[in-house]
């Protein structure tokens, strides 16, 4: 690595030290601040409470300086990825709160990396996690994943404060803290009822904002290369003229072997000196302001004919520009406002000539994608394939093709849809059991005078049979792993259970025929009461524990073999084969070696 001169280093160090010393003086929590376009008013008692957290964060000069160095190395990357995904700039401070920006940080709940993802959540947002690569430790990939995760929360909660909270509690766990009157608002009060995680987040924003944009105390900045597929870190170190030990320090995500070629991976190169303007470490210094939101920049092709009044209805949804339909809108009005033809508008949204606009729904004004950002989706009651394609920004034809169905096929409630990969032909259609409908009190029995009028409705019912009104309970959040058809198979194969209202850890242990102590251990739960509605918990032993004491042999993949067929051959489940071999997909290569159980 090229070193700066002794004089340059001393000057840089003194300037940085002066800035950091000034910045680490306890900052005052304002009574108002912005989170994206949401103005937060903090009442006095809560402001004093948050101030104590700010003081604690800044009381150790040494620790504060260490965090500032990490922050100004990694924030330019986080800012770039979050800005492209439409995430408020302030949310970058959540990475300090989550991991102290330590790439290989591991929590007591086995969450890993810069943004503290568990393995199944990481895969849900498109990160690769296996024995060769763990993208949770890659600041570029992990920041893209965090943006997807936050946007998915905000899509449903329509409030960035609640979305930050859901990052800790999960969307289901956040529901009990959500005030529906705050959904979609532009102003919100932070008070004693606000979740502790949000108040802690605000403390991090206040404490560290003044130090954003400062140079690293050792003059380091991070360059990035994305064309390293097939190369080892040793080769890259020689090509880039940096020390291998330094390169490994910033690329712990590559656990073994060469950089894979299955997709583009960002390799970080530590440099010394002043970063050029083209570098990713070009940090926009925002030390002076917390309260002003960043002005949104819209694609140039959307500007013609769009006034300031209606720009606010165009937002990035699933990374695609979309437009909000008003009560009076039709296809002509929306396409004109977006600056595209009606034909193109209908094509982008998989609409026929007969389809009409649904008010208060978002419509895409650019082409949807061929795959979604998540792995699976469980179809709700009365939900259509088109609605799901719009929700996740995936083309309707692609969604149908990935699930080996036609766009006109009936979508049964509870069906597990494959969203980012095509369901293998060997993998049966799976269903997740939705919460059952409840029955209200019997409606009044029709009188003789009304029976004739309603004869067409009740022809199939006995006159003396009471008529019931069906009311659908709120469904549990979507499960993110495929599940199976029968109860017996579910007990044997399901790994993740989403906690529903009324369930206890004991009842879940009985359902899956496991010990409650095992559930506590597998999920790092402090006690049986530390669960919440919507929380995902592991109900099957981790593969390391499940395979303990079993003899493991190798199986060489032969032509025509599938994961499903191999699992049946050795009396294993598909999940066991996938987990034991850290497979990212069901694609197998002839001659590939797989670990399997020896039943003899």
pLDDT digits (tens, 9 = 90+) for 10-35: 445 444 444 444 444 458 999 999 99
Mean per-residue pLDDT for 166-193? 89
In angstroms, the CA 467 to CA 457 distance is 11
What mean pLDDT is reported for the chain?
A: 78
Determine if residue 56 is left, alpha or beta; phi over 0 gives left, psi from -120 to 50 gives alpha, anything else beta. alpha
How many CA atoms, within 13 angstroms, populate the side-chain half-sphere of residue 423?
A: 24
Tens digits of residue pLDDT in 582-599: 777 677 888 899 988 876
Tens digits of residue pLDDT in 84-124: 999 999 999 999 999 999 999 888 778 899 999 988 888 88
Q: pTM above 0.85?
A: no
Return the pLDDT at 314.
60
In angstroms, the CA 150 to CA 258 distance is 31
Taking the C-alpha atoms of 518, 520, 521 and 524 in order, what is their torsion angle to the nearest 10 degrees? 160
Rg (CA), the chain: 27
Which range is least confidently modeled, 196-210, 373-387, 528-542?
Answer: 528-542
Percent of the chain with pLDDT over 90: 33
Q: How many other CB atoms are there within 10 angstroms of residue 96's CB atom?
A: 22
Inter-residue contact 369 to 126 (CB < 8 Å): no
Q: Which helix (H) or strand (E) holds 62?
A: helix 61-85
pLDDT band at residue 545 under the 50/70/90 scheme = low
Tens digits of residue pLDDT in 112-170: 999 999 888 888 888 999 889 999 999 999 999 999 999 988 888 899 999 999 999 88
Which range is least confidently modeled, 83-92, 304-313, 403-412?
Answer: 304-313
Return the pLDDT at 18.
47
Return the pLDDT at 489.
44
Taking the C-alpha atoms of 268, 36, 193 and 151 in order, what is their torsion angle to the nearest 10 degrees? -60
Return the pLDDT at 350.
94
Inter-residue contact 99 to 115 (CB < 8 Å): yes
Mean per-residue pLDDT for 445-463? 39
Alpha helices in 494-562 (DSSP H): 505-511, 516-522, 543-546
Mean per-residue pLDDT for 290-308? 33
Please provide the DSSP assignment of 135-187 as one string: GGG-HHHHHHHHHHHHHHHHHHH--HHHHHHHHHHHHHHHGGG--GGGTT-SE
Percent of the chain with pLDDT over 70: 76
How many CA atoms, within 13 angstroms, populate the side-chain half-sphere of residue 315?
A: 17
Alpha helices in 393-515 (DSSP H): 396-402, 448-451, 455-458, 487-493, 505-511
Return the pLDDT at 295.
35
Sign of CA dihedral 538, 544, 548, 551: positive
**Tokens 């090509």 sit at which residue?**
239
Mean per-residue pLDDT for 296-319? 44
Query: Nearest CA to 201 among 40, 329, 59?
Result: 40
pLDDT of 309 over the 50 cut? no
Protein fold of 544-597: Membrane-bound Lytic Murein Transglycosylase D; Chain A (3.10.350)
Return the pLDDT at 435.
60
**Tokens 């394939």 sit at which residue?**
385
Return the pLDDT at 425.
82
In angstroms, the CA 170 to CA 16 distance is 38
Return the pLDDT at 588.
83
Inter-residue contact 551 to 597 (CB < 8 Å): yes
pLDDT band at residue 436 under the 50/70/90 scheme = low
Domain ranges of the chain: 6-218, 300-364, 438-471, 544-597
Return the pLDDT at 115.
96
The three-point CA angle 403-407-408 to 5° equals: 125
Return the pLDDT at 41.
95
Angle between helices 160-174 and 139-157 (to 10 degrees): 80
Mean per-residue pLDDT for 279-300? 36
Return the pLDDT at 548.
66
Among 230-239, 284-293, 430-439, 548-557, the range with the most confident prediction by mean pLDDT is 230-239
Helix (H, G, I), strand (E, B) or coil at 33: strand
**Tokens 């946007």 sit at which residue?**
151
Return the pLDDT at 121.
85
Query: Exposed e or buried b for every residue in 75-90, given b needs 16+ CB within 10 A?
Result: bbbbbbbbbebbbbbb
The three-point CA angle 290-292-296 to 5° equals: 125
pLDDT of 431 over the 60 cut? yes
Q: Between these two residues, 339 and 2, which has the higher pLDDT value?
A: 339
Q: Across-strand partners of 220?
A: 272
pLDDT of 62 over the 70 cut? yes
DSSP label at residue 91: G
Return the pLDDT at 508.
80
In angstroms, the CA 323 to CA 337 distance is 9
Inter-residue contact 62 to 50 (CB < 8 Å): no
pLDDT band at residue 394 under the 50/70/90 scheme = very high
How far CA 213 is from CA of 205, 316, 524, in Å, comes to: 14, 27, 37
Please provide the DSSP assignment of 200-245 as one string: HHHHHHHHHGGGTTPPPTT-EEEEEE---TT--HHHHHHHHT--HH
Return the pLDDT at 26.
54
Mean per-residue pLDDT for 564-573? 80
Q: What is the distance between the terminal CA atoms of the chain, rounded to a whole angstrom?
A: 56
Same fold, 6-218 and 544-597: no
Query: Nearest CA to 117 among 145, 96, 92, 140?
Result: 145
Q: Domain 6-218 classified CATH 3.30.1330.10?
A: no
Return the pLDDT at 149.
92
Question: Residue 529: phi, psi to the nearest 5?
Answer: -90, -5
**Residues ≥6 apart with Cβ < 8 Å to 186:** 37, 38, 39
Mean per-residue pLDDT for 340-365? 88
pLDDT band at residue 564 under the 50/70/90 scheme = confident
């Amino acid at each position: 690595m090229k070193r700066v001169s002794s004089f340059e280093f001393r000057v840089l160090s003194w300037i940085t030290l002066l800035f950091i010393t000034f910045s680490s003086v306890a900052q005052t929590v304002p009574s108002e601040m912005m989170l994206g376009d949401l103005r937060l008013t903090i009442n006095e008692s809560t402001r004093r409470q948050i101030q104590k957290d700010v003081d604690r964060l800044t009381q150790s000069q040494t620790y504060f300086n260490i965090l500032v160095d990490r922050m100004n190395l990694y924030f330019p990357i986080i800012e770039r990825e979050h800005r492209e995904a439409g995430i408020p700039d302030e949310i970058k401070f959540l990475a300090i709160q989550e991991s102290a920006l330590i790439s290989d940080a591991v929590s007591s709940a086995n969450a890993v990396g810069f943004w503290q993802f568990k393995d199944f959540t990481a895969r849900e947002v498109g990160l690769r996690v296996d024995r060769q690569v763990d993208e949770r430790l890659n600041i570029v990939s992990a920041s893209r994943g965090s943006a997807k995760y936050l946007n998915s929360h905000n899509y449903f909660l329509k409030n960035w404060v609640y979305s930050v909270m859901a990052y800790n509690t999960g969307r289901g766990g956040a529901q009990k803290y959500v005030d529906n009157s705050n959904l979609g608002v532009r102003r919100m009060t932070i008070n004693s009822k606000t979740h502790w995680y949000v108040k802690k987040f605000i403390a991090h924003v206040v404490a560290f904002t003044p130090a954003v944009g400062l140079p690293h105390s050792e003059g380091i900045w991070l360059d990035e290369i994305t064309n390293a597929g097939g190369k080892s870190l040793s080769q890259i170190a020689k090509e880039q003229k940096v020390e291998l030990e330094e390169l490994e320090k910033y690329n712990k995500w590559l656990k073994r072997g060469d950089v894979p070629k299955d997709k583009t991976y960002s390799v970080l190169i530590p440099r010394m000196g002043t970063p050029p303007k083209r570098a990713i470490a070009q940090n926009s210094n925002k030390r002076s302001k917390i309260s002003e939101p960043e002005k949104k920049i819209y694609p140039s092709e959307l500007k013609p004919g769009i006034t300031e009044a209606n720009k606010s209805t165009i937002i990035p949804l699933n990374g695609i520009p979309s437009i909000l339909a008003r009560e009076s809108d039709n296809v002509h009005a929306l396409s004109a406002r977006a600056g595209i033809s009606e034909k193109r508008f209908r094509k982008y949204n998989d609409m026929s000539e007969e389809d009409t606009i649904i008010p208060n729904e978002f419509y895409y004004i650019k082409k949807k994608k061929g795959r979604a950002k998540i792995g699976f989706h469980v179809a709700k009651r009365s939900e259509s394939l088109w609605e799901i394609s719009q929700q996740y920004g995936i083309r309707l034809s692609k969604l149908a093709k990935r699930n080996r169905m036609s766009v006109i096929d009936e979508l049964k409630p509870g069906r597990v849809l494959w969203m980012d990969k095509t369901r293998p032909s060997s993998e049966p259609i799976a269903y997740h059991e939705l919460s059952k409908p409840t029955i209200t009190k019997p409606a009044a029995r029709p009188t003789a005078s009304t029976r004739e009028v309603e004869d067409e409705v009740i022809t199939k019912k006995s006159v003396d049979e009471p008529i019931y009104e069906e009311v659908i309970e709120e469904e549990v959040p979507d499960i993110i792993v495929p599940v199976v058809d029968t109860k017996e198979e579910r007990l044997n194969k399901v790994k993740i259970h989403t906690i529903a209202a009324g369930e206890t850890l004991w009842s879940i242990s009985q359902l899956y025929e496991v010990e409650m102590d095992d559930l506590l251990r597998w999920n790092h739960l402090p006690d049986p009461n530390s669960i919440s509605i919507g929380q995902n918990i592991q109900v099957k032993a981790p593969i390391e524990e499940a395979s303990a004491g079993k003899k493991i042999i190798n199986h060489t993949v032969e032509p025509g073999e599938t994961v499903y067929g191999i699992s049946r051959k050795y009396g294993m489940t598909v999940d066991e084969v996938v987990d034991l071999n850290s497979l990212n997909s069901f694609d197998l290569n002839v001659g590939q070696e797989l670990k399997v159980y020896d039943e003899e």
